């Protein structure tokens, strides 16, 4: 590295190191969709590692990690402001403050990782190759932990289109994140170390191993190919729950469905913006007759209630198969349920239906259209450990979303990228039907087979296969990645003692 970024200079100028970390974190946001510049997924973390190595105290390393996180999330999840202010009705200054505060909350696990890596009694090589990748992964898992977890911008997603994604069927996106961080460390060692051949050789071996794994087929087709139609109504968020828009919304979806001959028709999340018991039965009967005419079923996103204070964000099926229901399990904080003591925020946001009940944690896949369909709603598909619950029984994944909440921002592209990673982890195709985009069909290898343009009304007709079998990730979840990370931490300490 240049003298300007030498470790001695960084130790003497800790505030400058934090400022550099902010810009490095912001640069990492460009590694994710929709920008997708993968070299940034190696170069930006490599710079963070160098800054960590140059910190003189654990406290300085913690601040560097926090600053890196603030740069990453302030830019990468800037759509939170759009959701709060433009569509949530929150005053702009309060929305801006809330967004910065939320980014700070997302950044503290990286501060903890920076602090711990500095405190470990290991040398620089072991720190770069073992400790830091493992602690980075644990920090990301900590951020995504629990009911209010937010595993957005996990580093592994930036590797969706690279050889490193070949490891996803084994260790999931968190494991891919660990390996991507390891690749960044090897890159740093190759650029700054006295012995450069070995790190480069290991990096090539890491990429080569992933490319080989991408050639393996972890699952096999189940039944004949399925014809499907994914409907995109393109209803603006500020009009979605407008009573004057209700009839037009229903007419649009009925028209799109009636012209389809597919065996499976999928409508987006809350496509029918009224409780199921308040929907005209004749309308539902007409949609069901379309599905029966096609010899299949239709999935409809509609709120569903079982009592005055018990209602769910649900998907129901109508058609040749018995009617079935899936109710969303992982709800969005403040958007779909209220945390104790935070009711005032919901009042400011003016979000319709903002206190849903959570569906049962374990729900069987829907037996429709000749397949076992595992439905997930909106951002449920960013939680890989939850998506595998109905597997390997389920043969097809279906996601229904309403991305209109985030406007013309980075969010829809990022969400599609995460859905693609779910298909790689599980060896299952996914059909994603959204209100305004990205409506798409994804094969089991993460490849987008077809996609509708954003902010257009339309129907995407596609033929997909269901798949049986199970990847290793489906069988053991994140435990293999956790074991690998723990082994690396133990190895780094052992190397130091040796």
pLDDT digits (tens, 9 = 90+) for 169-188: 999 999 999 999 999 999 99
Quick one: how many helices (H) and strands (E) in the chain? Answer: 18, 12
Say how many CA atoms lie within 13 Å of 64 toward its Cβ: 31
- Residue 193 has a pLDDT of 74
Ramachandran sector of residue 332 (left: φ over 0; alpha: ψ -120 to 50; beta: rest) = beta
- Residue 163 has a pLDDT of 97
Note the pLDDT tens digit of each residue in 57-106: 999 999 999 999 999 999 999 988 888 877 667 788 888 998 999 999 99
Catalytic annotation, residues: 269, 328, 378
Q: pLDDT tens string for the chain (498 positions)?
A: 445 566 666 666 678 899 999 999 999 999 999 999 999 999 999 999 999 998 989 999 999 999 999 999 999 999 888 888 776 677 888 889 989 999 999 999 999 999 999 998 888 888 999 999 999 999 999 999 866 788 999 999 999 999 999 999 999 999 999 999 999 999 999 988 767 789 999 999 999 999 999 999 999 999 899 999 999 999 877 677 788 889 999 999 999 999 999 999 999 999 999 999 999 999 999 999 999 999 999 999 999 888 777 889 999 999 999 999 999 998 877 566 555 555 545 555 555 555 778 888 899 999 999 999 999 999 899 999 999 999 999 999 999 998 877 777 888 999 999 999 999 999 999 999 999 988 999 999 999 999 999 999 999 999 999 999 999 999 999 999 999 999 999 988 887 665
- Residue 15 has a pLDDT of 85
Nearest residue to 275 (alpha-carbon basis) of 232, 241, 319: 241
Phi, psi of 376 (to 5 degrees): -135, 150
Helix (H, G, I), strand (E, B) or coil at 477: coil
Q: Are 76 and 124 in contact (CB under 8 A)?
A: no
Whole-angstrom distance, CA of residue 454 vs CA of residue 432: 13
Nearest residue to 218 (alpha-carbon basis) of 171, 170, 157, 178: 170
- Residue ranges of domains in the chain, CATH in brackets: 3-216+477-497 (no CATH), 221-470 (3.60.110.10)
Whole-angstrom distance, CA of residue 424 vs CA of residue 444: 6
Instruction: For residue 59, give every residue at least 6 positions away whose Cβ sits within 8 Å of its Cβ, in sequence order, or none.
Output: 115
**H/E run at residue 40:** helix 39-54
- Residue 132 has a pLDDT of 96
DSSP secondary structure, 72-123, as one string? HHHHHTTHHHIIIIIIT---HHHHHHHHHHHHHHHHHHHHHHHHHHHHS---
- Residue 408 has a pLDDT of 79
- Residue 147 has a pLDDT of 63
Other C-beta atoms lying within 10 Å of the C-beta of residue 59: 14
Q: Are 352 and 303 in contact (CB under 8 A)?
A: no
Ramachandran sector of residue 223 (left: φ over 0; alpha: ψ -120 to 50; beta: rest) = left
- Residue 1 has a pLDDT of 42
Whole-angstrom distance, CA of residue 461 vs CA of residue 266: 11
- Residue 323 has a pLDDT of 96
Strands lying side by side in the sheet with 220-232: 325-327, 310-319, 297-307, 264-266, 220-232, 458-468
Q: List Cα–Cα distances, 33 to 26, 36, 75, 155, in angstroms.
A: 14, 5, 13, 12
Taking the alpha carbons at both ends of the chain, their separation in whole angstroms is 29
Query: What's the pTM value of the predicted model, to 2 decimals?
Result: 0.93
Whole-angstrom distance, CA of residue 227 vs CA of residue 303: 26
């Amino acid at each position: 590295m240049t003298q300007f970024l030498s470790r001695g200079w960084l130790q003497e100028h800790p505030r400058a190191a934090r400022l550099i970390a902010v810009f490095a974190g912001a640069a990492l946001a460009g590694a994710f969709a929709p920008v997708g510049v993968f070299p940034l997924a190696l170069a930006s973390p490599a710079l963070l590692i160098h800054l960590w190595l140059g910190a003189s105290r654990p406290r300085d390393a913690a601040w560097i990690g926090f600053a890196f996180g603030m740069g990453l999330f302030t830019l990468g999840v800037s759509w939170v402001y759009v959701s709060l202010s433009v569509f949530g009705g929150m005053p702009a200054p309060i929305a801006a403050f809330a967004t910065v505060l939320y980014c700070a909350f997302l950044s503290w696990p990286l501060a903890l990782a920076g602090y711990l890596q500095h405190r470990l009694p290991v040398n620089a090589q072991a720190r770069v190759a073992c400790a830091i990748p493992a602690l980075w992964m644990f920090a990301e898992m900590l951020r995504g932990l629990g009911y209010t977890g937010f595993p957005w911008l996990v580093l592994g997603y930036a590797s969706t289109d690279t050889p490193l994604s070949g490891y996803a069927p084994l260790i999931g996106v968190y494991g891919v994140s660990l390996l991507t961080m390891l690749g960044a460390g090897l890159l740093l060692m190759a650029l700054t170390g006295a012995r450069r051949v070995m790190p480069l050789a290991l990096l090539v071996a890491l990429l080569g191993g992933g490319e080989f794994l991408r050639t393996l087929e972890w699952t096999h087709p189940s039944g004949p190919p399925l014809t499907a139609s994914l409907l995109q109504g393109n209803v603006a968020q500020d009009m979605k729950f407008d009573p004057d828009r209700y009839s037009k919304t229903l007419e649009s979806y009925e028209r799109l469905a009636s012209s389809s001959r597919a065996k499976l028709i999928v409508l987006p999340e809350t496509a029918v913006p009224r409780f199921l018991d308040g929907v005209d039965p004749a309308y539902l009967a007409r949609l069901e007759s379309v599905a029966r005419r096609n010899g299949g079923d239709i999935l409809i996103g509609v709120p569903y209630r079982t009592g005055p204070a018990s209602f769910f964000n649900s998907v129901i099926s109508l058609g040749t198969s018995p009617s079935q229901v899936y109710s969303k399990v992982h709800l969005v904080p403040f958007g779909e349920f209220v945390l104790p003591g935070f009711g005032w925020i919901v009042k400011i946001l003016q979000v319709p239906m903002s206190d849903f009940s959570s569906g049962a944690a374990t729900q069987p896949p829907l037996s429709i259209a000749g397949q076992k369909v595992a439905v997930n709603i909106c951002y449920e598909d960013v939680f890989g450990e939850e998506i595998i619950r109905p597997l390997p029984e389920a043969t097809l994944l279906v996601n229904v979303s309403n991305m209109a909440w985030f406007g013309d921002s980075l969010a829809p592209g990022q969400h599609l990228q995460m859905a693609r990673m779910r298909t790689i982890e599980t060896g299952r195709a996914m059909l994603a039907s959204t209100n305004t985009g990205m409506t798409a069909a994804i094969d089991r290898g993460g490849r987008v087979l077809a996609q509708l343009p954003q902010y257009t009304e339309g129907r995407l007709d596609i033929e997909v296969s269901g798949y049986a079998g199970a990847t290793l990730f489906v069988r053991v979840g994140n435990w293999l990645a956790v074991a690998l990370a723990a082994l690396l931490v133990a190895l780094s300490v052992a190397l130091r003692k040796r």
